[in-house]
Structure 1
């Protein structure tokens, strides 16, 4: 089939219409997700090492560490600290570990990797970085870790805020020593 000259010289008329009309995405690729309090956040795809869905019993609790840390997770032989992102950002609702799987976003900067446990993952989306606005009505504990926010419409057409996090600021925070 590949050796057939007609296959290589196709005019594109027999291609599926949805493939012919595919536009190039605008903006940058981001991962959208929710904290336990229901707030929606995004992280740039370039700062994410991987997304892991793991059983809570694979996260090993470590005594005498920051209460923001759930424990450690073995990711292909590498020990990764896992944090409750919602509580780190000042949320009052702790991540429920009483479920079959926890979503962990592994972010990395230089040789430091941290797992951010979140309530649920929305998915990958293209967001226009030129439309980002300065954060408004943000708690003081969250402000140092935000790059900005977008006003987006949900499925019902209501507007809500999607906040862009700075994974490097999160990784380098002094809060981990507390």
Structure 2
């Protein structure tokens, strides 16, 4: 059977030699998600270690830490701090943890890993970095953590804001 030429090429006598061209994606791969206030953000896929959906009771609250931190999560034997990304970025609406699963985006830089709890993950999408613009009318609490934004709808003032995960990880806000 291995010596049959049609077997090696994947074509039989009854198959036409048509090939389907795969379109190459434009831009870079990003994860799109929402925080509790309804604002949509994106992170570059290259900066994401993994996406988790633990039940809230697996996140262990730790007393006397920053109110931005929900607690710790055991990820395959590694303790990872989990933070409410929306509140970190200045949202007044806390993340609702009264649900079956909490969406957590684990980001890492060198030996530091942090879980960013978000309201809802949209999914992965190829986005063109050439279309990123400097952010307009951004709250001061968000500005240091933005690389730019894509304008989705100018009339409705809808933007997709690109976050800098390293700036978030290295922020002095965690000490507060």
The residue number in structure 1 matching 2:171 is 173
1:110-157: CA deviation from partner (whole Å, max 9, x where unpaired):
00000000000000000000110000110001000000000125xxx9
The residue number in structure 2 matching 1:81 is 81
The residue number in structure 2 matching 1:96 is 96
| Aligned ranges 1:1-178 → 2 under 5 Å | 4-10=4-10, 13=16, 20-152=20-152, 160-178=158-176
The CA distance in 1 between the partners of 2:157 and 2:175, in whole Å, is 37
TM-score under structure 1 normalisation? 0.90
The CA distance in 1 between the partners of 2:97 and 2:53, in whole Å, is 12
Comparing 97-106 with 159-168, greater Cα deviation is found at: 159-168
Q: CA RMSD in A?
A: 2.0
Judged with a 3 Å threshold, the aligned counterparts in structure 2 of structure 1 residues 2 and 121 are, in CA distance, closer, same or farther, namely: farther
Which is higher, the Rg of structure 1 or of structure 2?
Answer: 2
1:26-80: CA deviation from partner (whole Å, max 9, x where unpaired):
1000000000000000000000000000100000000000000000000000000
Judged with a 3 Å threshold, the aligned counterparts in structure 2 of structure 1 residues 141 and 23 are, in CA distance, closer, same or farther, namely: same
- Find the residue that maps to 2:94 and give its secondary structure: coil
Instruction: State the aligned residue count.
Output: 172
The CA distance in 2 between the partners of 1:4 and 1:42, in whole Å, is 50
